[in-house]
Amino acid sequence: MKRTIASKLPDVGTTIFTVMSQLAADTGAINLSQGFPSFDPPQKLRDDIKHHLDNGANQYAPMMGVPALRSAIAEKTTRLHRRSIDMDREVTVCCGATEGLFCAIQAIVRAGDEVIVFDPAYDSYEPAVTLAGGVTRHLPLSISADGYDFSIDWQALADAVNPRTRLIVVNFPHNPTGAILRDADLDRLADIVRDTDCYLLSDEVYEHIVFDEEPHCSLLAHDELWERTMVISSFGKTFHATGWKIGYCIAPVYLSDEFRKVHQFATFAISTPVQHGIADFLQSDAAFYQQLPAFYQEKRDFFCSLLKDSRFRLRPARSTFFQIVDYSDISNELDLDLAKRWTIDNGVASIPLSVFCEQAFTGTRLRFCFAKDNATLEAAAEKLRDL
Ligand code: PMP
Ligand code: GLN
């Protein structure tokens, strides 16, 4: 008899990032789908890690992360957001943002709780909520009249929050749209959650990739929000090292305590030499992440200029290393079908936006990753200009 199992995630298939990267690999297409740089982490950082690899940092790290790294994270956070952080009780190093988000959700969400996410929503949030027994409520981001700006509809959020709402997940700088939050937005959010029991999970993995001289407004920096917020970040984005899977959670003590109860049994601890190497590099080379906006802004501008004579419509991204394009002048095919067809037939892989949405509202848009060397961007743009 063929065995079957009743799935705990019956509606979940294979993540779009795996689907599109696999399709790109199978067809030899240029892969601008899954977000990863085509360049290496800085040499000094790699040397720092090698040093620790060769000098005994090869056994379990402390469950919450090595002190040197937690100290560097706390110091950076205080410098950037003027919030004093207790490195021993409020910082936990985790296995990339993915593990951090998962643990935060398991720690907070109980059976029957509602969790609000904003579509297009990064694809790891909802399965984590489902596994915790919660129910995900999707609120679409509003789209501006010109079609380029995505933002939270504050009235819709205020209307959606109810006594069952346990958690609101926000992700700014936003993947995939590049939308950002400003200080006034944080105040609006504070107004809405003020008299509720609802917590906030802030996915800030693109904290250091915001363009056009705009600041990154972290929820950490807001006195009222901070009291109920877990902030998750990732060194994968900051150091061109998505393959290292190392990130962190910063949260007030009472939330960090709950986070750690889950984290200690999800992974226990993270690669020891990588933690020490990043600690050294953060202390000695802050200039690296300080120049990241300029570095990626140049890539963004280069990619957008290459698409100038294409039939795509776009407005340069405000943040992240993703560019959204509107293909309505070329095709009215569904974005998922088109992303696959253009990978196979035209040799460039992208990410369709509809997979991040409960309801079809993002329309004829695709996401391209521009964290690539210029030759790759040029080769991709040449194919895209033919469409
Ligand atoms: N959240 C968002 C919005 C992301 O874009 C990503 C990865 N690109 C993650 C979380 C996961 O980060 P990590 O690779 O560190 O697990
Ligand atoms: N976050 C990356 C992206 O948006 C992908 C991460 C993954 O593949 N899980 O492309």
Question: What is the tens place of the pLDDT at every residue in 234-260?
Answer: 999 999 999 999 999 999 999 999 999
Q: What ligand 1 atom has the least distance to the C-alpha of 122?
A: 3
Query: Is residue 35 lining ligand 1, measured as CB closer than 6 Å?
Result: yes
Query: Is residue 96 lining ligand 1, measured as CB closer than 6 Å?
Result: yes
Query: Is residue 203 lining ligand 1, measured as CB closer than 6 Å?
Result: yes
In a domain, 6, yes or no: no
Q: What ligand 1 atom has the least distance to the C-alpha of 174?
A: 3
In a domain, 2, yes or no: no
> pTM for the complete prediction?
0.98
Which CATH number fits the domain that encloses residue 32? 3.90.1150.10
CB 166 within 8 A of CB 110: yes
Q: What is the CA(216)–ligand 2 centre distance, in A? A: 21
Q: What is the CA(242)–ligand 2 centre distance, in A? A: 9
Number of domains in the chain: 2
Mean pLDDT of the residues in the chain: 97
pLDDT for 296: 98
| Statement to judge: residues 147 and 241 lie in one domain | yes
Q: What percent of the chain has pLDDT over 70?
A: 100
Q: What is the CA(322)–ligand 2 centre distance, in A? A: 11
| Statement to judge: residues 269 and 325 lie in one domain | no
The pLDDT of residue 306 is above 90: yes
| Statement to judge: residues 365 and 243 lie in one domain | no
Query: Is residue 361 lining ligand 2, measured as CB closer than 6 Å?
Result: no
| Statement to judge: residues 310 and 203 lie in one domain | no
Of 179, 188, 191, 180, the residue nearest 216 (C-alpha): 180
Given the DSSP bridges, would you call strands 114-119 and 135-140 parallel, antiparallel or unpaired?
parallel
The boundaries of the domain holding residue 32 are 16-41+290-385
In a domain, 65, yes or no: yes
Residues 261-282 as b/e (b if ≥16 CB within 10 A, e otherwise) read ebbeeebebbbbbbbbbbbbbb
Query: Is residue 34 lining ligand 2, measured as CB closer than 6 Å?
Result: yes
Q: Kindly calculate the radius of gyration of the chain based on its CA atoms and give it in whole angstroms.
A: 21
| Statement to judge: residues 252 and 329 lie in one domain | no
Q: What is the CA(183)–ligand 2 centre distance, in A? A: 27
Q: Spell out the residues 6+ positions from residue 267 whose beta carbon is closer than 8 angstroms to its own.
A: 94, 95, 99
Long-range interactions of 46-53: CB distance < 8 A, separation 24+: 46/277, 48/276, 48/277, 48/278, 48/280, 48/281, 49/273, 49/274, 49/276, 49/277, 49/278, 50/273, 50/277, 51/277, 51/280, 52/272, 52/273, 52/276, 52/277, 52/280, 53/273
**Position 54, amino acid:** D
From 33, 36, 95, 322, the mutation candidate for ligand 2 (largest count of ligand atoms within 8 A of CB) is: 36
Which CATH number fits the domain that encloses residue 89? 3.40.640.10
Which ligand has its closest atom nearest to the C-alpha of 204? 1
CA gap 384, 378 in Å, rounded: 10
CA gap 298, 309 in Å, rounded: 19
Q: What ligand 1 atom has the least distance to the C-alpha of 101?
A: 10
Q: What ligand 1 atom has the least distance to the C-alpha of 235?
A: 15
Query: Is residue 123 lining ligand 2, measured as CB closer than 6 Å?
Result: no
| Statement to judge: residues 89 and 29 lie in one domain | no
Query: Is residue 205 lining ligand 1, measured as CB closer than 6 Å?
Result: yes
Q: What is the mean pLDDT of residues 223-233?
A: 98
Which ligand has its closest atom nearest to the C-alpha of 369? 2
CA distances for 193 relative to 57, 155, 163, 226, 258, angstroms = 43, 12, 11, 12, 21
Residue range 198-212, pLDDT digits in tens: 999 999 999 999 999
Query: Is residue 122 lining ligand 1, measured as CB closer than 6 Å?
Result: yes
Residue range 265-289, pLDDT digits in tens: 999 999 999 999 999 999 999 999 9
Query: Is residue 127 lining ligand 2, measured as CB closer than 6 Å?
Result: no
Q: Whose structure tokens read 């020891």?
A: 272
| Statement to judge: residues 310 and 280 lie in one domain | no
Q: Which residue, 251, 286, 321, sits at the end of a domain?
A: 286
**More confident call, 362 vs 343:** 343
| Statement to judge: residues 73 and 99 lie in one domain | yes
Given the DSSP bridges, would you call strands 91-94 and 322-326 parallel, antiparallel or unpaired?
unpaired
CA gap 199, 166 in Å, rounded: 6
Q: What is the mean pLDDT of residues 297-321?
A: 98
| Statement to judge: residues 71 and 97 lie in one domain | yes
| Statement to judge: residues 233 and 263 lie in one domain | yes
Q: Which residue, 238, 258, 286, sits at the end of a domain?
A: 286
Confidence band for 30, pLDDT divided at 50, 70 and 90 = very high
Q: Which residue, 286, 305, 329, sits at the end of a domain?
A: 286
The pLDDT of residue 136 is above 90: yes
Q: What is the CA(244)–ligand 2 centre distance, in A? A: 13
| Statement to judge: residues 180 and 92 lie in one domain | yes
The pLDDT of residue 301 is above 90: yes
In angstroms, how far apart are the furthest CA atoms of the chain?
63
Q: Which token pair is 55? A: 């000098």
Q: What is the DSSP string of 181-236?
A: --HHHHHHHHHHHTTS--EEEEE-TTTT-B-TTPPP--GGG-HHHHTTEEEEEEHH
CA gap 249, 259 in Å, rounded: 8
Q: What is the mean pLDDT of residues 112-128?
A: 98
Q: What is the DSSP string of 143-154?
A: E-TTS--EE--H
From 101, 203, 238, 242, the mutation candidate for ligand 2 (largest count of ligand atoms within 8 A of CB) is: 242
Q: Whose CA is nearest to atom 2 of ligand 2?
A: 35
Q: What is the mean pLDDT of residues 290-317?
A: 98
Instruction: Please classify residue 328 by burial: count the beta carbons closer than 10 Å to its beta carbon, then call 0-12 exposed, 13-18 middle and 19+ buried.
Output: middle
In a domain, 9, yes or no: no
CA dihedral 16, 20, 26, 32 (to 10 degrees): -150
In a domain, 183, yes or no: yes
Query: Is residue 17 lining ligand 2, measured as CB closer than 6 Å?
Result: yes
pLDDT for 24: 98
Confidence band for 1, pLDDT divided at 50, 70 and 90 = confident
Q: Which helix (H) or strand (E) holds 138?
A: strand 135-140
Q: What percent of the chain has pLDDT over 90?
A: 99
Q: What ligand 1 atom has the least distance to the C-alpha of 35?
A: 8
| Statement to judge: residues 278 and 300 lie in one domain | no
